[in-house]
Chain A
């Protein structure tokens, strides 16, 4: 059982502090969280941190969950926020603090090299392509095109206005299309 109603039922039971329901909820929603985090971050280790932190937040703030809220939307938002924070921290570290003294910048993690352990690539032609997208575009593309959320759901999850979602989608698709064309032209 892992239809939307079942997930919602488990979430409501977990919200009352039922450990068995929470375990069931982890079971049925860890795949969703994992695929979203990996696709957004492109790194297994970071994705595992994000997924764990997301479930910890769900458990810790379970009393805040309201029956009228769809659990998957709420959960998508938590995972997305955490992954987005990782992405932004990564890009901020490499951009904003480029001028810091050496001892500060030496600790700044860089984008994983292609052969880094834990680096994950998507199957098919999208392999490696998503990583070229800036965070906001990556978010819009992954949620909309890979996780099949509607534009409205993407706005609910990300907090972006619909026009920003569409703008980011446009930029992401154009960039990916151009990358695909460049690859096939090689």
Chain B
């Protein structure tokens, strides 16, 4: 066992974190390595302190009114609100005419909104599918959302989602982010800062998304971890290329 592995295992001390083989290998290593034995004593005293702090941590108090607020926004909305109707005579002939413009207006609104609602539904559906696939995903420019006007890109996004669904979930932190073309440069710069020259948006992505760019990345990892992830999970790079 290498000393680096031993250090990692020393931090995994609670039940079900180490299997018996690892425990045994660690014990054997500590018998033969003076440096690790010394380090183990040091780490354990620090971990004991962490354990003690952990036990002292108290549950934060639930704010007053939280439950009521939740109920207002859930079960209470199930009951339709009723407003008292004024008698027809107060309106004269108006009630007879009201349905005509109302119907026309509804038809017009329906026509205008049809395409937009369809696109929004498709977006919502895609987001649901991504969520169900086990990957946390954002369809849209982070912080701003994807405008329905970018609907022509939906088919490509849908293809990307199908691809995501067909690959094994990479797990927490893996994300499909679809961004506007105008944000690509910022994203590229951020990727370069995160990963160095090793990872940039492949040209295929840009070519297939003429108005959008797409990249799957994990910004919950630091640079070393990301490098490690990329070397261990080639499907990430594969996905980038396939997109």
Among B70, B142, B171, B219, which residue has its beta carbon within 8 angstroms of that of A52?
B70
B56-64, B85-93, B110-118 - interface stretch: B56-64
Contact with A along B38-68 (1 / 0, CB 8 A): 0000010011011011101111101100110
Q: Tell me whether A15 is interfacial, beta carbon within 8 Å.
A: no
A177 and B66 in contact (CB under 8 A), knowing A97-B142, A151-B16, A152-B16?
no
Q: Is the CB of B67 within 8 A of A177?
A: no
Q: Is the CB of A56 within 8 A of B74?
A: yes
Among B62, B66, B74, B142, which residue has its beta carbon within 8 angstroms of that of A92?
B142
Q: Is the CB of B219 within 8 A of A96?
A: yes
Q: Tell me whether A169 is interfacial, beta carbon within 8 Å.
A: yes
Q: Is the CB of A59 within 8 A of B11?
A: no
Q: Is the CB of B171 within 8 A of A160?
A: yes
Q: Is the CB of A56 within 8 A of B73?
A: yes
B99-107, B151-159, B183-191, B198-206 - interface stretch: B183-191
Within 8 A of B (CB), among A59-102: 59-60, 81, 84-85, 87-89, 91-93, 95-100
Q: Is the CB of B66 within 8 A of A48?
A: yes
Give every chain A residue within 8 A of B131 (Cβ-Cβ): 81
Contact with B along A136-168 (1 / 0, CB 8 A): 100100001110001110000011110010110
Give every chain A residue within 8 A of B66 (Cβ-Cβ): 30, 34, 48, 51-52
Give every chain B residue within 8 A of A120 (Cβ-Cβ): 60
A160 to B185, CA, bound (A): 30
Q: Is the CB of A59 within 8 A of B186?
A: no
Among B8, B136, B193, B225, which residue has its beta carbon within 8 angstroms of that of A84?
B136
B side interface size, CB within 8 A: 56
Q: Is the CB of B54 within 8 A of A145?
A: yes
A55 and B70 in contact (CB under 8 A), knowing A84-B172, A95-B190, A177-B46?
yes
Q: Is the CB of A159 within 8 A of B47?
A: no
A100 to B187, CA, bound (A): 10
Q: Tell me whether B95 is interfacial, beta carbon within 8 Å.
A: no
Q: How far is the CB of A83 from chain B (nearest CB, A)?
A: 11
Give every chain A residue within 8 A of B56 (Cβ-Cβ): 123-126
Give every chain A residue within 8 A of B221 (Cβ-Cβ): 134, 136
Give every chain A residue within 8 A of B143 (Cβ-Cβ): 89, 92-93, 97, 108
Give every chain B residue within 8 A of A98 (Cβ-Cβ): 186, 190
Q: Tell me whether B1 is interfacial, beta carbon within 8 Å.
A: no
Among A23, A89, A100, which residue has its beta carbon within 8 angstroms of that of B186?
A100
A110 to B51, CA, bound (A): 30
Give every chain B residue within 8 A of A30 (Cβ-Cβ): 62, 66-67, 70
Q: How far is the CB of A116 from chain B (nearest CB, A)?
A: 16
A180 and B53 in contact (CB under 8 A), knowing A48-B63, A97-B190, A134-B220?
yes
A134 to B63, CA, bound (A): 26
Q: Is the CB of A22 within 8 A of B219?
A: no
A23 and B172 in contact (CB under 8 A), knowing A31-B59, A180-B53?
no
Between A and B, 5 residue pairs with Cβ closer than 8 Å are: A34-B66, A52-B69, A96-B142, A170-B11, A174-B7
User: What 4 pairs across the A-B complex have the smallest Cβ distances?
Assistant: A124-B56, A125-B53, A177-B46, A19-B75
B residues with a Cβ closer than 8 A to A are: 7-8, 11-12, 14, 16-17, 43, 46-47, 49-50, 52-54, 56-60, 62-63, 66-67, 69-71, 73-75, 78, 131, 134-136, 138, 142-143, 169, 171-173, 175, 183, 185-187, 189-190, 193-194, 219-222, 225
Extra 16 A-B pairs, beta carbons < 8 Å, given A122-B58, A159-B134: A22-B74, A39-B60, A48-B69, A81-B136, A87-B220, A89-B142, A91-B219, A95-B193, A98-B190, A99-B185, A145-B14, A146-B54, A151-B16, A170-B11, A173-B50, A177-B49
